[in-house]
Chain A
Amino acid sequence: MKTGADLVADALVAAGVNFICTLPDWNMARLIERISQENSWIHVRLGREEEGVGICAGAYLTGKTPALVMQNGGLLNSVNGLTTTSLQFGIPTLLVVYYAGDINTRYFSTVGDMTEPVLNALGIRHYILRDRAAVMPTIAGATVLTMDSRRPVAVLLSRDLLRSEGA
């Protein structure tokens, strides 16, 4: 039995991510637990999401394939770094973002309202994951896209996906 969070962790390994920064959300607890158990990457635990933009940039400069795991509130915290480091220099980072305020969740609809418009304003392409079958190809494809375009690419994870269970 695997949760959606396990599928995401498996997909990040398969996609070749080898440097990963995380800041928790309750709904990503299982994902971050899995990330902390993997040996295939360097894992840095953050105090604020924007520093992860810088840390991932430094890793990329040495040849790493970096990912930044955070909630969408943290994505909003990171907008200056994404603009003046990632986009300014052309530095790829896979943004793995819990979509608080998405359909069928409570309390965070305001940050949910703002998430996709902010990504659109930044010119950061994004893909919403709600379906278990889409996890592996979407994370693999988004990783190829971020590295090829040398821009961040975001994958938004729904609560229902992360909590889902299956084979």
Chain B
Amino acid sequence: MKRLDCLKAIAGKVGDALVVGTAGGATVEWYHLHPSEGNFRSRTLGLASSIGLGIALSLPHRKVIVLDGDGSLLMNLCGLPTAAWAAPPNLIHIVFDNEVYESSGSSPTATAGPTDLVAIAKAAGFPRALWVHDVEAFATAVADALAGHELTFIGAKVEHGIVPGIASPTMDDTENKYRFMRHIEKLEGRKIFGSGYPDL
């Protein structure tokens, strides 16, 4: 299974869900397939899931999707019990597990060995955590999570390899931040900037 095919299967089907991408290839592919003001690309390996958790807790009526990788999740495993305990039912944590640190030379991660990230998510307390093994099952799992109201973890084993011809987004990080926050202002119908905290 290829990550790009998984992402193609859900691009255009996530409605106005907010999407936080990890510092890795999944995010590059997602920005290419689904350019949106509701995308936010993290830069700290491990923190995409934490940023997504903060958004999900702050906007409980919005769906939030995290596109994570195995290396990123391994760097912030303690985020799983934190999320499970806080338990926002609007958060969907997707992990594309290619068993390597793809963006930094493709040396193996622990998931190339005995480590099972879905089992860890279940043990951390995620009420719903599942592996999907083909693109159709992936798309179904995401659609179910978007339609449902339960904190969900979806693991997808994918082939490693960066797809040629897909360039990294050229957007500056602060530009990404402002566009995302302006998008929130529109979605929510309220001002963030220029009305006192946090905007001054």
Interface of A toward B, CB cutoff 8 Å: 16, 19, 42, 44-48, 50-66, 80-81, 84-85, 88-92, 143-144, 147-148
CB distance from A30 to the nearest CB of B (A): 22
User: B173 touching A144 by the CB < 8 A rule?
Assistant: no
The 8 Å CB contact of B86, one of A44, A54, A61, A80, is A44
* Chain B 40-54 interface 0/1 with A at a Cβ cutoff of 8 Å (1 = within): 101110111111111
Most buried by A among B43, B47, B50, B188: B50
- Docked CA distance A148–B194 (Å): 11
The 8 Å CB contact of A61, one of B51, B78, B174, B190, is B51
The 8 Å CB contact of B79, one of A47, A65, A148, is A47
Question: Total contacts A to B, CB within 8 angstroms?
Answer: 134
Interface of B toward A, CB cutoff 8 Å: 20, 40, 42-44, 46-59, 76, 78-79, 81-82, 85-86, 173-174, 176-177, 180-181, 184-185, 188, 190, 192, 197-200
Cβ–Cβ < 8 Å partners of A64 in chain B: 54, 58, 198
Using CB atoms, name the residue of chain B closest to A81: B44
Using CB atoms, name the residue of chain A closest to B78: A47
Using CB atoms, name the residue of chain B closest to A148: B200
User: A54 touching B198 by the CB < 8 A rule?
Assistant: no
User: B184 touching A62 by the CB < 8 A rule?
Assistant: yes
User: A61 touching B55 by the CB < 8 A rule?
Assistant: yes
User: A58 touching B44 by the CB < 8 A rule?
Assistant: no
Most buried by A among B51, B59, B184: B51
Using CB atoms, name the residue of chain A closest to B56: A58
User: A51 touching B82 by the CB < 8 A rule?
Assistant: yes
User: B198 touching A89 by the CB < 8 A rule?
Assistant: no
Instruction: Say yes or no: A85-B42 contact (C-beta < 8 A), given A47-B82, A51-B78.
Output: yes
User: A60 touching B82 by the CB < 8 A rule?
Assistant: no
Instruction: Say yes or no: A61-B40 contact (C-beta < 8 A), given A45-B85, A47-B82, A89-B177.
Output: yes
Instruction: Say yes or no: A47-B177 contact (C-beta < 8 A), given A63-B184, A65-B197, A89-B43.
Output: no
Pull 29 A–B residue pairs with CB atoms less than 8 Å apart, ordered by A.
A44-B53, A45-B82, A48-B76, A51-B46, A51-B47, A51-B50, A54-B50, A55-B53, A55-B54, A55-B82, A58-B50, A58-B54, A59-B54, A61-B177, A62-B188, A62-B192, A63-B192, A64-B58, A81-B44, A84-B43, A84-B44, A85-B43, A85-B47, A85-B51, A89-B173, A89-B174, A89-B177, A90-B174, A90-B177
Using CB atoms, name the residue of chain A closest to B86: A44
